[in-house]
């Protein structure tokens, strides 16, 4: 690099670093400590290792001040390792101990996609707080969650770990997770630091294949992909992780625009940035860095404060600083950011595990929290009247997921003990359900099983029962990181199992336990009711029984569109319109006349074989109650950019059963400087309404919430006409309109 250019770059970096003012006690502490550190000790703070070498050699490195953080180590070793840092290294700087506490530590909650189906920030916050309490008790001070990657592709295995396809819902629930993990104060004994990830665009991997490239233009990036991150940072997220993908050719761990301009300058983030696992050294595979030294230079200058696992910082930063290729100020600011979070966690005073008098792990309160979350996360997709079940019916319990204690926990459950899992079958053996008469005949041993030799036994069991409950889905290993699929039908012989059960003529309840929205259209004719559960965690079996028996009323709504065929992907509710929006046409392929003229099937945007509509839309979910929406009212039909619009409607429970409805508020900006989505979620509320009663739902919509990044890349509300809906999902509802002056 030419010298002049280098000076300009350094000046720019200094302007965008997170510099210390030294005014507060916290900053004075950090400056004081920083002043005592050698360059090597500073770089050591920027180095995070996993346990891939003998304990003695790890300890030697910690003693020498070469490690700032450890991840995913055996919790039993945490205090021993921490003691080495605190008592045996020169400056005694404690380690920050990270672990993937994604949906519970020991007590496992539903996977995040399930939590999102609750549309309930309170339940999500309580669940994540439970996880933090259990983890901190064992000395874990940092989780790599929440994952806020917008996911519009069910093939992508990590959709399981996401909060779905919508930026507003992901932002609201992501912020709830940050509050849950971090509690009132990070230093409390029930708080750990959150890490919002993966910054950014990872969920848009081409073809749904994990780690793949993304091509997200800046307007879409800002209007959709960045929104949940910004909300989580505003909620106080202490750390942020870069993603594996390159977007438009720039790997996230080398993207100074994202890490400095957006994150630090615009959002004023003052926590620290960690790379993903070797995502820095993988920039060589991407073809973005020539060698390991280049990796360290690019990431440090781009704004990655801590390197996860790949160790290019510890190897090359001393030399890069000596050569003036990485300014000292970049190192100092990275270390300040890291020390700031360690300080806020109270690690300098309380570095060790914090066991209370009695352990909270698997305590009753936590089990109840997990059960409530699982109840609220289940979505009733179909019910011809067979549900709720009656207490005097004999059940045939069928299918590989009826008793799959490991798989029910879902992806990222390192720590959950499968012996503590209450599967649906085990739920029937508890005091709460032991009066139920049932015959258990699984038919298949696991989801991929193709051996149909037990099917006759299954049919005979079903004939002896009143109702068959068929538990199908996916093993945990089929979703999550690096577990993408190109075929998302029910796997193995599960569809055949359903057909065999249905052939008996008995009513069939299909209970799905899976890590993603599967393509289940072909299975629906063989089920009289469908209850969908994203891997529901430790208490899933009891929650499912509560719902099947109507002791709880289903209230979950889909956080993601269910497509009819995998070839429809990507399909999401908040898409732009085409110039030729589809009408309602579907053309059965066999009805197309031979040599039909080119334009005879219409010239609009749809698939000849699967139309324009998904199987189930975003926001959809049934209940044992029925609800009617009426009386949409807007406080004004003309508003200005600084106003708040009040929108109300009456929701009536028209059934004889008390129930909870998630009322949803959507808007459409009819004309913009860039095309705007056909609908965008702007609010939701869970309403508990007693049988036969009505409730008014009131949404306060600040007009500023309609702002977006338009053609000039500035965020503002554009004047014009808007449509607005309050309804039960993204396809139905009462419609009104208003104008922004
Ligand atoms: C994942 C991250 C995770 C990290 C640490 C990576 O492979 O992408 O989400 O937090 O590993 O386990």
**Encoding tokens for residue 564?**
């009819």
DSSP state of 98: E
- pLDDT grade for 21, boundaries at 50, 70 and 90: low
C-alpha of residue 5 to centroid of ligand 1, in Å: 36
Res 15: pLDDT: 40
Check: CB of residue 162 under 8 Å from CB of residue 216.
no
Q: What is the mean pLDDT of residues 303-307?
A: 99
Say how far apart CA 15 and CA 330 lie, in whole Å: 10
At 278, is the pLDDT very low, low, confident or very high (cuts 50, 70, 90)? very high
Residue 253 has a pLDDT of 98
Looking at 72-200, which runs of residues are DSSP E strands? 96-99, 142-143, 195-199
Whole-angstrom distance, CA of residue 81 vs CA of residue 91: 15
Of the given ranges (4-18, 89-103, 624-638, 657-671), which has the lowest mean pLDDT? 4-18
Q: How remote is the CA of residue 215 from the centroid of ligand 1, in Å? A: 22
Residue 100: closest CA among 68, 142, 59:
142
Give distance in angstroms: CA of 385 to centre of ligand 1. 43
User: Scanning the structure block, which residue is given the tokens 């909270």?
Assistant: 360
Can you tell me the mean pLDDT for 53-69?
A: 97
How far apart (Å, rounded) are the C-alpha atoms in residues 301 and 291? 16
Q: How confident is the model at residue 22 (pLDDT cuts 50, 70, 90)?
A: low
Provide mean pLDDT across the span 67-87: 97
Annotate 19-42 with DSSP letters as a single string.
-----SHHHHHHHHHHHH--HHHH
Say whether pLDDT at 254 is over 80.
yes
Mutation to probe ligand 1, out of 159, 205, 277, 310 (largest number of atoms < 8 A from CB): 277
The rounded distance, in Å, linking the Cα atoms of 62 and 293 is 23
Peptide bond preceding 207 in cis form (omega within 30 of 0): no
Instruction: Decide if pLDDT at 6 tops 80.
Output: no
Model confidence at 683: pLDDT above 80: yes
Mutation pick for ligand 1 pocket among 97, 144, 483 (CB with most ligand atoms within 8 Å)? 144
Confidence of residue 356 (pLDDT cuts 50, 70, 90): confident
Instruction: Determine the average pLDDT of the residues in 22-34.
Output: 94
Q: Ligand 1, residue 144: give the atom nearest the CA.
A: 10
Lowest mean pLDDT among 353-357, 386-390, 647-651: 353-357
- The answer for 674, left when phi > 0, alpha when psi is -120 to 50, beta otherwise, is beta
- For residue 138, what are its two tokens? 């064992």
How many CB atoms are closer than 10 A to CB 346? 18
Report pLDDT for 487.
Answer: 98
Mapped onto helix, strand or coil, the DSSP state of residue 435 is coil
Output the CA 319–ligand 1 centroid distance in Å: 29
pLDDT value for 357: 85
Mean pLDDT across 692-712: 98
For 174, phi then psi, to 5°, come to -65, -40
Question: Does the annotation count 276 as an active-site position?
Answer: yes
pLDDT in tens, 451-476: 999 999 999 999 999 999 999 999 99
Q: How far is the CA of 69 from the centre of ligand 1 (A)?
A: 15
Q: Which residues pair with 272 in a beta bridge?
A: 239
Q: Which of 50, 100, 197 to mutate to test the pocket of ligand 1 (most atoms within 8 A of CB)?
A: 100
Q: In whole angstroms, give the CA distance from residue 407 to residue 477.
A: 8
Chain-centre distance for alpha carbon 156: 13
pTM for the full model? 0.97
Task: Pick the residue whose CA is nearest to atom 4 on ligand 1.
Answer: 277
Select from 269, 201, 279 the least CA-distant residue to 240: 269
DSSP state of 261: I
Task: Ligand 1, residue 147: give the atom nearest the CA.
Answer: 9
**What is the SS3 string spanning 51-91?**
CCCCHHHHHHHHHCCCCCEEECCCHHHHHHHHHHHHHHCCC
Name which residue sits closest to atom 10 of ligand 1, judged by CA.
144
**Ligand 1 pocket by Cβ (under 6 Å):** 71-72, 100, 144, 197, 276-277, 481
> How far, in Å, is the centroid of ligand 1 from the Cα of 420?
25
Pick from 412, 414, 438, 413: which is nearest to 426 by CA? 438
Catalytic-role residue among 149, 276, 305, 407: 276
Nearest CA to ligand 1 atom 8: 276
Under 8 Å CB-to-CB from 714, ≥6 apart: which residues?
A: none
Q: Ligand 1 centroid vs 337 CA: distance in angstroms?
A: 21
Q: Find the 73 Cα to ligand 1 centroid distance in Å.
A: 14
Q: What is the rounded average pLDDT of the residues 373-386? A: 99
Beta-bridge mates of residue 581: 605
CA quadruple 236, 123, 346, 86: dihedral positive or negative? negative
Give 277 Cα–ligand 1 centroid separation in angstroms. Answer: 6
Q: Return the SS3 of 424.
A: helix
Contact between 298 and 310 under an 8 Å Cβ cutoff? The reply is no
Task: Report how far ligand 1's centroid is from the alpha carbon of 658 (Å).
Answer: 42
pLDDT of residue 584: 67
Mean pLDDT of the chain: 96
**Reduced to 3 states, what is the DSSP secondary structure of residue 600?**
coil
Phi, psi (degrees; rounded to nearest 5) at 494: -70, -40
Q: Which atom of ligand 1 is nearest to the CA of 145?
A: 10
Pick the closest to residue 467 from 412, 511, 416 (CA basis). 511
Give the CA distances from residue 669 to residues 231, 257, 399, 679, 717, in Å, rounded to whole numbers and listed in that order. Answer: 22, 29, 46, 8, 10
Residues 653 and 691: beta-carbon distance below 8 Å: yes
In this model, does residue 122 exceed pLDDT 60? Answer: yes
Residue closest by Cα to atom 2 of ligand 1: 276
Residue nearest ligand 1's atom 12 by CA: 100
CA atoms within 13 A on the CB side of 673: 14
Does residue 17 surpass a pLDDT of 60?
A: no
Residue nearest to atom 7 of ligand 1 (CA): 277
What the block records as the tokens of 663 is: 């009322």
Q: What phi and psi values does residue 88 have, to the nearest 5 degrees?
A: -120, -5
Residue closest by Cα to atom 6 of ligand 1 = 277
pLDDT attached to residue 741: 97
Mean pLDDT of 214-222: 98
Q: Are 494 and 536 in contact (CB under 8 A)?
A: no
Atom of ligand 1 nearest to the CA of 198: 9
For 318, phi and psi rounded to 5 degrees?
-55, -45
Report the distance separating Cα 61 and Cα 45, nearest Å: 11
Atom of ligand 1 nearest to the CA of 197: 9
Q: Within 10 Å of residue 343's Cβ, how many Cβ atoms?
A: 19
In angstroms, rounded to a whole number, what is the distance separating the alpha carbons of residues 175 and 44?
31
Q: Whose CA is nearest to atom 11 of ligand 1?
A: 277
**Residue 18 pLDDT:** 47
Tokens 């499912």 sit on residue: 544
**Ligand 1 atom at minimal distance to the Cα of residue 161:** 9
Mean pLDDT of 617-626: 98
Cβ atoms 116, 334 nearer than 8 A: no
Instruction: Quote the ligand 1 centre to 140 CA distance (angstroms).
Output: 16
Pocket test for ligand 1, best of 99, 203, 481 (most atoms within 8 A of CB): 481
Q: What was the pLDDT predicted at 54?
A: 95
Over its C-alpha atoms, the chain yields an Rg (Å, rounded) of 27
* d(C-alpha 330, C-alpha 379), whole Å: 48
Look at residue 644 and give its three-state secondary structure: strand
pLDDT at 10: 41
Exposed/middle/buried for residue 228 (C-beta within 10 Å: 0-12, 13-18, 19+): buried
- The pLDDT score that the predictor gives to residue 12 is 44
pLDDT in tens, 572-607: 999 999 999 988 667 788 999 999 998 888 889 999
What are the strands of the beta sheet with 195-199, ordered from one edge? 195-199, 239-242, 272-274
Burial class (CB in 10 A: 0-12, 13-18, 19+), 537: buried
Dist. CA 49 → ligand 1 center (Å):
13
């Amino acid at each position: 690099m030419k010298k002049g250019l280098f000076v300009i770059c350094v000046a720019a970096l200094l302007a965008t670093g997170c510099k210390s003012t030294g005014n507060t006690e916290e900053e004075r502490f950090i400056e004081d400590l920083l002043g005592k550190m050698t360059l090597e000790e500073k770089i050591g703070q920027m180095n995070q290792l996993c346990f891939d070498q003998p304990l003695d050699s790890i300890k030697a490195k910690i003693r020498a001040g070469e490690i700032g953080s450890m991840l995913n180590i055996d919790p039993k070793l945490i205090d021993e390792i921490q003691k080495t840092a605190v008592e045996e290294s020169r400056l005694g700087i404690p380690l920050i101990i990270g672990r993937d506490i994604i949906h519970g530590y020991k007590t496992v909650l539903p996977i995040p996609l399930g939590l999102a189906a609750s549309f309930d920030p309170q339940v999500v916050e309580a669940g994540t707080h439970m996880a933090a309490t259990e983890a901190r008790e064992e000395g874990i001070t940092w989780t790599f969650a929440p994952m806020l990657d917008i996911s519009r592709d069910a093939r992508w295995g990590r959709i399981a770990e996401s909060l779905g396809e919508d930026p507003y819902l992901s932002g609201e629930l992501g912020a709830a997770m940050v509050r849950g993990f971090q509690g009132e104060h990070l230093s409390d004994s029930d708080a750990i630091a959150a890490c919002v990830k993966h910054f950014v665009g990872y969920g848009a991997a081409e073809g749904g294949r994990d780690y793949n490239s993304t091509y997200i233009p800046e307007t879409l990036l800002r209007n959709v992909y960045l929104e949940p991150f910004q909300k989580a940072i505003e909620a106080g997220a202490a750390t942020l992780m870069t993603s594996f993908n390159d977007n438009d050719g720039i790997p996230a761990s080398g993207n100074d625009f994202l890490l400095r301009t957006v994150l630090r300058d615009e959002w004023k983030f003052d926590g620290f940035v960690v790379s993903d696992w070797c995502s820095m050294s993988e920039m060589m595979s991407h073809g973005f860095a020539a060698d390991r030294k280049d990796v360290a230079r690019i990431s440090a200058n781009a704004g990655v404060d801590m390197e996860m696992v790949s160790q290019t910082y510890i190897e090359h930063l001393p030399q890069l600083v000596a050569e003036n290729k990485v300014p000292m100020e970049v190192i100092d600011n990275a270390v300040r950011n890291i020390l700031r979070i360690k300080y806020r966690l109270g690690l300098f005073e309380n570095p060790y595990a914090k066991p209370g008098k009695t352990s909270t792990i698997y305590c009753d309160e936590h089990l109840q929290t997990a059960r409530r979350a699982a109840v609220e996360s289940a979505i009733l997709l179909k019910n011809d009247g067979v549900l709720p079940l009656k207490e005097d019916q004999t059940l045939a319990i069928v299918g590989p997921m009826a008793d799959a204690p490991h798989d029910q926990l879902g992806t990222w459950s390192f720590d959950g003990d499968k012996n503590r899992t209450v599967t649906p079958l085990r739920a029937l053996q508890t005091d709460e359900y032991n009066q139920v008469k049932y015959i258990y005949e699984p038919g298949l041993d696991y989801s991929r099983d193709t051996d149909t030799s037990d099917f006759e036994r299954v049919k005979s069991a079903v004939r002896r029962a009143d109702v068959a409950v068929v538990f199908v889905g996916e093993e945990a290993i089929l979703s999550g990181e690096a577990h993408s699929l190109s075929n998302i039908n029910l796997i193995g012989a599960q569809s055949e199992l359903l057909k065999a059960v249905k052939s008996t003529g008995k009513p069939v309840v299909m209970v799905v336990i899976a890590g993603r929205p599967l393509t289940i259209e072909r299975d629906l004719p063989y089920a009289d009711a469908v209850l969908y559960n994203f891997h529901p965690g430790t208490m899933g079996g009891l929650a499912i029984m509560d719902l099947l028996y109507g002791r709880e009323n289903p209230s979950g709504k889909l956080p993601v569109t269910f497509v009819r065929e995998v070839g429809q992907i990507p399909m999401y509710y908040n898409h732009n319109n085409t110039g030729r929006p589809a009408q309602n046409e579907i053309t059965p392929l066999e009805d197309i006349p031979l040599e039909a003229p080119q334009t005879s099937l219409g010239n609009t945007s749809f698939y000849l074989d699967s139309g324009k509509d998904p199987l189930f839309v975003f926001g959809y979910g049934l209940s044992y109650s029925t609800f009617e929406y009426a009386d949409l009212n807007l406080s004004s039909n003309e508003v200005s950019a600084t106003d708040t619009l009040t929108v109300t409607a009456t929701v009536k429970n028209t059934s004889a059963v008390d129930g909870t409805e998630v009322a949803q508020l959507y808007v459409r900006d009819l004309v913009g400087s860039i095309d705007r989505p056909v609908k965008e979620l702007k609010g939701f509320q869970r309403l508990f309404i007693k049988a036969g009663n009505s409730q008014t739902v009131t949404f306060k919509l600040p007009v500023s919430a309609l702002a977006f990044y338009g053609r000039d890349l500035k965020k503002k509300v554009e004047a014009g006409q808007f449509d607005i809906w309050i309804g039960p999902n993204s396809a139905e509802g009462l419609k009104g309109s208003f104008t922004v002056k």
